[in-house]
Chains A and B, each alone.
Chain A
Amino acid sequence: MSSKSNARIEALAAAARRRRRLQAWLPWLVIAGTFLVWEIGVEVFNISTFILPAPTDVWFAAVRWWKPLLDDSIHTLLSTLAGFGLAVVAGLLLGIAIGSSTLVYKGLYPLLIAFNSIPKVAVVPVLIIWFGIGVWPAIITAFLISFFPIVVNVATGIATVEPELRDVLRALGAKPTDIIRKVGLPRAMPYFFASLKIAITVAFVGSIIAESVAPNAGIGRLMMVASSRFDVPLVFAGLIVTGMMGIMLYWIAEFIERRTTGWATRGQDAQNFTPGG
């Protein structure tokens, strides 16, 4: 190989490296930039802390109230995860049932859609009547809100197995459970993980709604208390902590997704795949 073409390959590889580095740093730059613009905007337009506190004010509030902020975040995180965990188990099971049987699909879908159309905030008072003020309304609201996307996605993945592939397996004497196990489930995994990323973020919405309606513990209660004292920086601190927890869980879901269903996103990380290596 000539030195000229070697040099060109080197240059291409270097460009790819630069691109990857930029991709890794970009989210952080965007977040930092957002805070910077926010800070400057508040300063320049002289916005009162009561309307929109500057990031530095939010930071000071967070430092000052770090203990309740931490306790309440952990509380919210745990109830969100509990509800989310229930949603994953129930969503997978129901998704498999709906995806593999037209009868179950036809029978259950209207009810599911009707159920999902109900604003969850309207359900919380009912949950409080049933379970009392405590951790359960938050867990169940998180479950209810994150359950639907998982069901729909898993069902879609299983229901869209190519008919030819189904024929190949049936002609080998495969039972319906074989087809679900060998083809339906693996095929549904990318759909499942896509839904997890939605579900985990909306699960926070669910638990915090419940915590705000029935202020017992958690970030929702913290923000209710803070806003009733007009401590707007602390309200924002609660919002930002929630966002951070959301990102954290999203990353975990994405990490597991990449480890288990890399086959579905091939090509997007093509640089990592050097042929002949």
Chain B
Amino acid sequence: MSRPFVEIDRVAMRYGGVEGTLALEECSLNVDQGEFVAVVGPSGCGKSTLMRLVSGLWPATEGNVVVAGTEVDRPLSLVGMAFQNPTLLPWRSILDNVMLPFEVVPEHRKRLGRERAKYEQKALDLLKLVGLEGFGGKQPYQLSGGMQQRTSLCRALIHEPPLLMLDEPFSALDVFTREDLWDVLQQVWMARKPTVVLVTHDLREATYLADRVLVMSARPGRIIAEKRVDFPRPRTMETTYLPEFTALVAELRAHIAAARKGEEVT
């Protein structure tokens, strides 16, 4: 069997010196190439920390992080990220916001000048895929929160990153918009098959989207449970009404409840 794309081996992360807060401890997990993994856990368990370690934004205080066979010791280029807030640049049009990674990623920025039209077409195609056709010329403030979040997803995806890190990207949205965006994300993932790590506290979201759901303990966080999700794709709202789906969500919920109390379900 080939090596996992992301390997995290007994990683620890402590903030603020030797006596500081321990956010992660003995945290190990693997993610295969092209796999969609969701990480859930009680709030403050270090999910976002985990994400930053994998992207190499912060160095781990203990343990190893290996991505694509290489030890991560600096920020990886080529990771797509999206957060709870869209963090768009308000002075740029929607199209120019989506184009931002092309201006930064070394391999694209050299070619951008000559092949601008081609790159713009890519961005427009992606905007169309997420349902924002015709909005490229608008400014961010002219769009609703859900549309801004779609734009943010496009910005994370445009350069076709092999690794996509999503930190609660839908949690600031209303339920209907959120479920729309689940489908958008699923569609994009099925089309391009990037490796995805989705951090969320929404168990239905995790179950709906992921191939595998990992449950983290309370701080200091580590992986205490793992659930495969085998529903066929594309999953639809019908999937969420299946008894198996509900049972899986209930099981995850029990794990989280136990983790919050500091015990483990066996």
Using CB atoms and an 8 Å cutoff, list the residues of chain A in contact with chain B.
162, 164-165, 167-174, 178, 182-183, 186-187, 189, 261, 263-264, 266-267, 275
**Interface membership of B157, Cβ < 8 A:** no
Residues of A near B206 (CB, < 8 A) are none
Q: Look across to chain A and name the residue whose beta carbon is closest to the beta carbon of B76.
A: A171
* A164 and B77 contact, Cβ closer than 8 Å, known pairs A171-B165, A174-B104: no
Residues of A near B80 (CB, < 8 A) are 171
A162, A169, A173, A275, most chain B CB atoms within 10 A: A173
Residues of B near A189 (CB, < 8 A) are 91
**Interface membership of B52, Cβ < 8 A:** yes
A171, A264, A266, most chain B CB atoms within 10 A: A171
Give 16 A-B pairs besides A165-B89, A275-B142 with Cβ atoms closer than 8 angstroms: A162-B87, A164-B85, A167-B55, A168-B156, A169-B100, A170-B75, A171-B81, A172-B104, A173-B77, A173-B104, A182-B100, A182-B103, A186-B91, A189-B91, A263-B139, A263-B141
**Interface membership of B101, Cβ < 8 A:** yes
Q: Look across to chain B and name the residue whose beta carbon is closest to the beta carbon of A168.
A: B81
Kindly state the separation between the CA atoms of A165 and B85 in the bound complex, as whole angstroms: 10
Using CB atoms and an 8 Å cutoff, list the residues of chain B in contact with chain A.
52, 55-57, 75-83, 85, 87, 89-91, 100-101, 103-106, 139, 141-142, 155-156, 159, 165
* A168 and B155 contact, Cβ closer than 8 Å, known pairs A174-B104, A178-B104: yes
The residue from A162, A172, A275 contacting B77, defined by CB atoms under 8 A apart: A172
A172 and B159 within 8 A (CB): yes
A172 and B83 within 8 A (CB): no
Main secondary structure of the interface of A (DSSP, over half): helix
Nearest-Cβ distance from residue A244 to partner chain B, whole angstroms: 33
A and B contact pairs by CB, cutoff 8 A, 12 listed? A165-B87, A169-B104, A170-B57, A171-B57, A171-B80, A172-B77, A172-B78, A173-B75, A173-B77, A182-B100, A261-B91, A266-B139
Q: Look across to chain A and name the residue whose beta carbon is closest to the beta carbon of B52.
A: A167
Kindly state the separation between the CA atoms of A162 and B86 in the bound complex, as whole angstroms: 11
* A168 and B57 contact, Cβ closer than 8 Å, known pairs A173-B75, A173-B105, A173-B106: no
Residues of B near A275 (CB, < 8 A) are 142
* A172 and B105 contact, Cβ closer than 8 Å, known pairs A167-B52, A167-B55, A182-B100: yes
Kindly state the separation between the CA atoms of A187 and B89 in the bound complex, as whole angstroms: 8
The residue from A172, A187, A264 contacting B79, defined by CB atoms under 8 A apart: A172
The residue from B76, B78, B91, B100 contacting A263, defined by CB atoms under 8 A apart: B91
Q: Look across to chain B and name the residue whose beta carbon is closest to the beta carbon of A179.
A: B104
Nearest-Cβ distance from residue A269 to partner chain B, whole angstroms: 13
Kindly state the separation between the CA atoms of A140 and B77 in the bound complex, as whole angstroms: 46
Residues of B near A173 (CB, < 8 A) are 75-78, 104-106
Residues of B near A267 (CB, < 8 A) are 141
The residue from A167, A183, A261 contacting B57, defined by CB atoms under 8 A apart: A167
A172 and B101 within 8 A (CB): yes
B57, B87, B89, most chain A CB atoms within 10 A: B87
Kindly state the separation between the CA atoms of A90 and B217 in the bound complex, as whole angstroms: 52
